[in-house]
Structure 1
Amino acid sequence: MTSRFRIGQDDFLLDGQPHRILSGAVHYFRVHPEQWADRIRKARLMGLNTIETYVAWNAHEPRRGEWDATGWNDLGAFLDLIAAEGMHAIVRPGPYICAEWHNGGLPVWLTGSEGIGLRRSEPQYLDAVSDYLRRVYEIVEPRQIDRGGPVVLVQIENEYGAYGADKTYLRHLVSVTRDAGIEVPLTTIDQPTDRMLSDGSLPELHKTGSFGSRAGERLQTLRRHQPTGPLMCAEFWDGWFDWWGTVHHTTAPADSAAELDALLAAGASVNFYMFHGGTNYGLTNGANDKGRYLPIVTSYDYDAPLDEAGDPTEKFFAFRDVIAKYASVPKETVQASADAPTFEVALAPVAVPLPGPDETRYSEPPTFDGIGHLGALVAYEVDLGGRGGTLRFGEIRDQAWISVDGKRVGTLSRTRQERALRIPSGSRLRVFVEEQGRVNYDQRLGEPKGLIGAVTLDDVVLTGWSAAPVDLHELAAAAALAPVGDALDSPIVLYGTFELAVPGDLFLDSSSWGKGFALVNGFLLGRYWRSGPQRTLYVPAPVLRSGINELAVVELETGVDTIARFLPRPSLGPEEE
């Protein structure tokens, strides 16, 4: 059954009748595919009629020409599940998405291209973006509402007014979108300031705002720039994200509900950012750098109405009560899950050898990008010739563990803005570098990772570097076969197994460990770090199995507990007071 969705003089129009969008953000790439339907259904039960999602280009095309729209990247299947629930969909393909996601969603191969002009009308960037959008629209076009699908809106770029003002670039994105058969209304989103709203859109695009407070004031600003048509807060910030070394950010449910009430009382449409945040599985977390580098944690719980594990929070019911004042809500309610099983698993250190460097030698250490490595770890080595002294780096992105002849002598951190240390005399220097997350915002998009620039020892340049990329999945696979034994140097790989009668969500306690990564049955849950705030890693039920399950922990620090503990509930750290 097809419908028609358009923008009227004052309202969105669904088959000619006024329609308010009540939407919630769920990023399919942050949720296990087997859990998509559950999260979508719970959005409907809160009273929502629409699901919004970004599209993460770097998830679909991590290497140029290797496009993937299957499994976790099956946007079409996600949209079909939204339709099956009787809901509409909003698609925001970027190409830039921010979202506290690795590199703002842009692929590393793109941002690292020589001479590239990001997010502007530069030829090689436009060519790549055009190819990407056409692929996305091959999925979206047949799923528009007037084709019988759920899609009612498509967004052009993302908060572009905070970055640039290239109208030629925006017009190109519109042209590619329309040429691909996208006929639903096109929107833009910006924070409601005069400059951002002016710079970030075009007259023919419907402007929306992003904010979480002072709804009346922000809607007035938006109305000055969008004289006709419906008002919409397309990112109603109902929570916030966390970064390592801080607290778990929360907002009071009553305060958020009051802001929502003001927004809906003004007649506006809304999209909750987030309805369900999900998880930065693997190495997908982004980072911010506004003078200090701050990588984002693994959890993207966001203090949202539906928590990281898909359970309703106090906000869920507070928002549902507000929505019920303006629209009908289902009678069915959502029940929280029972506590997860608690148990302990003995872990043993296993002797997993790191991959050796190839025969290539470099005058200065190559970046991760220079050797085409998309992982988090690279081991650099160079001969010292028996010397010691002050070791100095151009820049470290993002953390390094320094060893001389297999003995740890110190660490250097980008966050702490450290670049030098004294080392003893020795034969071989090893610098083990972790990329902690690509900056997802502003002008640092696409910056290279690893050791940046020349490295000196007492002001003499060290040359003849080797670089060995480390694959975490290969380490975990090797751990199952490796003999028990201590590693000479980091990382330390711990391995153990546990048995389950029936798979269910678990919460892995990382509070007694240092810094590293955890994998269950070869699935990379993400990063942990004693600096917090996050203390548990969410283990979604679909990655577990009845019978024997494998746990591998890749620990970058020392003195770790060799027990893995599973807790009944998540622990995301101390909250703001």
Structure 2
Amino acid sequence: MTKLKVQGNELHLNNEPIQIISGAIHYYRVVPEYWEDRLLKLKACGFNTVETYIPWNLHEPKEGQFNFEGIANVEEFIRTAQRVGLHVIARPSPYICAEWEFGGLPSWLLADSNMKIRSHYEPYLEKVDNYYDVLLEKLTPLQQTNGGPIIAMQIENEYGSYGNDKKYLNHIKDGMLKRGVDVLLFTSDGPTDLMLEGGTVEDVYATVNFGSRPEQSFAKLQEHFPNTPNFVMEYWNGWFDHWGEEHHERDPQDAADTFEKMLSRGDSVNFYMFHGGTNFGFYNGANHGKKYEPTVTSYDYDCPISETGDLTPKFHLVRDAIAKHKDIGELVLPEPIPKKNYGEVSLKQSVNLFDALEQISAPVQKANPETMEKLGQDYGFVLYRTFLKGPHAEAALTIQEVRDRALIFVNKEYKGVIDRWDNDKVMIEVPEEGIQLDILVENMGRINYGPLMNDPKGITQGVRFAYQFLFDWEMYSLPLDNLEKLSFDEADAGTGEGPAFYKGTFQVDEIGDTFVELPGWKKGVVFVNGFNLGRYWEIGPQKTLYIPGPLLKKGENEIIVFEQHGNQQEVVELGDEHKLG
């Protein structure tokens, strides 16, 4: 076999021209038990390749500690793609964007206040090199040149939208080459002069990303790289959602028509996304244009395969478009995955966060409030506590650069919200006997794109009462990565105010996918059998959280809800319908 090569204005594989028809599926957004199902559907739609990003923060969650098990088993995902009969495009660039937390960069980088990401800054490059020493050793045996399915790898992602440090880009390229990468290397950028000038590297294949107007986009690519094969590495056939906005949808016929236009021209295309999946846990990213905009838990993306693996109208129109140009045979699909309605679940046990603090966290004492990263924490919440002597008349409590949303409590009584986009202060007064001030700060996702990616979490500068900074803080890290030490009250939980954990159980006789809906609940996180499903928020657009069947077991199952604001009822509903808008 000979590897994928650029031959004039064509791509060649095994010395034959190839038009790559690829679809993006991110293994880390799909439970491993469903990888084969999603890949078979990609193949059945007529695609010949699967593309996936590889998130550094998933694989090196703590510096020097690596994870390639379960949902992080990228090698098994790639081998599964090969068994199904697909080529693989791997994108192991340190930064991936992908609406993923911090664009895939590990949060522990920000424990160093001087860190300069995505540049030829030696402390950053050292961390990348250490990661690549481990990661690329796993990927190189899976290259097509070694009998595997990987035909191409990306050196950096949309770098021209961020910077122009060619020395950095060449360091990444050279680092891949010296670690045994010998398949086609590529970059992907937006179709503008600035982006293509900043993000491309000599002797590396350049591709572009866009959602419409392929003629204009490819014309710009040809201006910079005459006679190069046209390849849209991200054809955005749908879009993602932020909290508090409408669910995004794109007309299926429009998406299919634009795709068919490219197929008829002989362009290679990678659908971004073909199947979006789910931002489980705290892995959703955020954007920041005019304001901070965190991404929802669902990554449905309105693409050919829904978040839950269902074929959408877009799937059939896209398949019809391919069938006009390729012989793809009859549609053969895997067995459908059942969806189950398990009904209402009563959460009859509860424990208030303030009562549970010592069970799940140990306080750290400092003069100044520290960021989450300085506390050695990646995701979740931090509770900051201090004491104010009185008396003081009512004045504004403010937080300089809170990241991202803080609940304010005086003597454990809720007083209001301070966040980084709307609410900048809470008015409080201090009686003669003084007060205990608690501030619960939520990391809602680090920014994954643009110039504001250096996004440490928690209280990043300080807290002021009137004009005076407050000192002498106790800090409780709350990553919520292990709730086994929680001690619940066995009495009925009932409804409540303030942050608390609620627990219930439900019986499963037949396992299937289901969806948790939380009517009367406001904002929080849901855990099923210890697995963090992700966030919910009453402002929508997402109304349910997806529970893949493999997270359940026959017999008794446990659900825990961490509700930040209090609930109006003590039940949640496990239905068979996903509500995204």
TM over 0.5, shorter chain: yes
Question: Displacement, 1:93?
Answer: 0.8
- Provide the residue aligned with 1:455 in structure 2: 463
User: Do 1:354 and 1:470's aligned partners in 2 also have CA atoms closer than 8 Å?
Assistant: no
Distance 1:124 1:206 in 2: 28
Q: 1:409 aligns with which of 408, 415, 436?
A: 415
SS of the equivalent of 2:438 reads: strand
Distance 1:539 1:387 in 2: 50
Question: Displacement, 1:479?
Answer: 5.5
Q: Can you list the C-alpha shifts for 1:131-185, whole angstroms capped at 9, x where unaligned?
A: 2223221111111112110000101100000111111111111111111111111
- Provide the residue aligned with 2:343 in structure 1: 343
Q: 1:355 aligns with which of 354, 357, 362?
A: 357
- Provide the residue aligned with 1:257 in structure 2: 256
Distance 2:542 2:578 in 1: 9
Q: What does residue range 477-488 of structure 1 map to in structure 2 within 5 Å?
A: 478=486, 484=492
Q: What does residue range 365-514 of structure 1 map to in structure 2 within 5 Å?
A: 365-388=369-392, 389-390=394-395, 391-423=397-429, 425=431, 426-475=434-483, 478=486, 484=492, 490-514=498-522
- Provide the residue aligned with 1:105 in structure 2: 104
- Provide the residue aligned with 1:285 in structure 2: 284
- Provide the residue aligned with 2:580 in structure 1: 572
User: Do 2:154 and 2:187's aligned partners in 1 also have CA atoms closer than 8 Å?
Assistant: yes
Deviates more, 1:440-449 or 1:209-218: 440-449
- Provide the residue aligned with 2:536 in structure 1: 528
SS of the equivalent of 1:411 reads: strand
Distance 2:389 2:495 in 1: 24
Distance 2:423 2:50 in 1: 41
Distance 1:402 1:423 in 2: 13
The 3 A distance-change label for structure 1 pair 377 and 350 is same
Q: What does residue range 13-24 of structure 1 map to in structure 2 within 5 Å?
A: 13-24=12-23
Deviates more, 1:345-354 or 1:449-458: 345-354
Distance 2:550 2:388 in 1: 48
- Taking structure 2 as the reference length, the TM-score comes to 0.95
Distance 1:384 1:412 in 2: 19
Question: Displacement, 1:458?
Answer: 2.5
The 3 A distance-change label for structure 1 pair 114 and 411 is closer
The 3 A distance-change label for structure 1 pair 111 and 268 is farther
User: Do 2:156 and 2:169's aligned partners in 1 also have CA atoms closer than 8 Å?
Assistant: yes
Matched, 1:164 2:175: no
Q: Can you list the C-alpha shifts for 1:385-419, whole angstroms capped at 9, x where unaligned?
A: 24453212212211111111121111222221524
Question: Displacement, 1:475?
Answer: 3.5
User: Do 1:238 and 1:304's aligned partners in 2 also have CA atoms closer than 8 Å?
Assistant: yes
User: Do 1:188 and 1:205's aligned partners in 2 also have CA atoms closer than 8 Å?
Assistant: yes
- Provide the residue aligned with 1:192 in structure 2: 191
Deviates more, 1:183-192 or 1:422-431: 422-431
Question: Displacement, 1:377?
Answer: 1.0
- Provide the residue aligned with 1:221 in structure 2: 220
User: Do 2:536 and 2:542's aligned partners in 1 also have CA atoms closer than 8 Å?
Assistant: yes
Paired letter, 1:373: Q
- Provide the residue aligned with 2:142 in structure 1: 143
User: Do 1:404 and 1:424's aligned partners in 2 also have CA atoms closer than 8 Å?
Assistant: no
Question: Displacement, 1:489?
Answer: 6.5
The 3 A distance-change label for structure 1 pair 490 and 373 is farther
- Provide the residue aligned with 1:202 in structure 2: 201
Distance 1:138 1:530 in 2: 44
User: Do 1:348 and 1:496's aligned partners in 2 also have CA atoms closer than 8 Å?
Assistant: yes
Q: Can you list the C-alpha shifts for 1:99-133, whole angstroms capped at 9, x where unaligned?
A: 11001100111233242221111111111112222
Question: Displacement, 1:32?
Answer: 0.6
Q: What does residue range 53-202 of structure 1 map to in structure 2 within 5 Å?
A: 53-202=52-201
Paired letter, 2:540: G
Question: Displacement, 1:493?
Answer: 1.4
Distance 2:489 2:326 in 1: 58
Deviates more, 1:544-553 or 1:342-351: 342-351
Paired letter, 2:111: G
Distance 2:462 2:260 in 1: 56
Distance 2:223 2:305 in 1: 34
SS of the equivalent of 1:370 reads: coil
Question: Displacement, 1:195?
Answer: 1.4
Percent identity, aligned pairs only? 38
Distance 1:163 1:471 in 2: 30
Distance 1:69 1:228 in 2: 40
The 3 A distance-change label for structure 1 pair 114 and 403 is closer
Question: Displacement, 1:342?
Answer: 4.7
Question: Displacement, 1:420?
Answer: 4.2
User: Do 1:216 and 1:266's aligned partners in 2 also have CA atoms closer than 8 Å?
Assistant: no
SS of the equivalent of 1:127 reads: helix
Distance 1:433 1:201 in 2: 39
- Taking structure 1 as the reference length, the TM-score comes to 0.95
Deviates more, 1:20-29 or 1:488-497: 488-497
Count residues with an aligned counterpart: 572
User: Do 2:381 and 2:479's aligned partners in 1 also have CA atoms closer than 8 Å?
Assistant: yes
Question: Displacement, 1:433?
Answer: 1.1
Q: Can you list the C-alpha shifts for 1:514-559, whole angstroms capped at 9, x where unaligned?
A: 0000011011000000010000000011110011111111100123
The 3 A distance-change label for structure 1 pair 13 and 570 is same
Paired letter, 1:255: D
User: Do 1:112 and 1:447's aligned partners in 2 also have CA atoms closer than 8 Å?
Assistant: no
Question: Displacement, 1:266?
Answer: 1.6
Distance 1:563 1:18 in 2: 58
- Provide the residue aligned with 1:364 in structure 2: 368
Q: Can you list the C-alpha shifts for 1:449-469, whole angstroms capped at 9, x where unaligned?
A: 111222222322222111011
Distance 1:274 1:488 in 2: 40
Paired letter, 1:234: M
The 3 A distance-change label for structure 1 pair 360 and 275 is closer
SS of the equivalent of 1:474 reads: coil
SS of the equivalent of 2:357 reads: coil
Distance 2:203 2:490 in 1: 61
Distance 1:283 1:267 in 2: 40
User: Do 1:479 and 1:495's aligned partners in 2 also have CA atoms closer than 8 Å?
Assistant: no
Paired letter, 2:465: L
Paired letter, 1:519: F
Paired letter, 2:381: L
The 3 A distance-change label for structure 1 pair 385 and 486 is farther
Q: Can you list the C-alpha shifts for 1:276-323, whole angstroms capped at 9, x where unaligned?
A: 100000000001112311110000000011000111111011100001
Distance 1:492 1:359 in 2: 19
Distance 1:499 1:477 in 2: 23
Paired letter, 1:248: H
User: Do 1:406 and 1:489's aligned partners in 2 also have CA atoms closer than 8 Å?
Assistant: no
Distance 2:561 2:429 in 1: 29
User: Do 1:518 and 1:524's aligned partners in 2 also have CA atoms closer than 8 Å?
Assistant: yes
Question: Displacement, 1:3?
Answer: 4.8
SS of the equivalent of 1:141 reads: helix
SS of the equivalent of 1:23 reads: strand
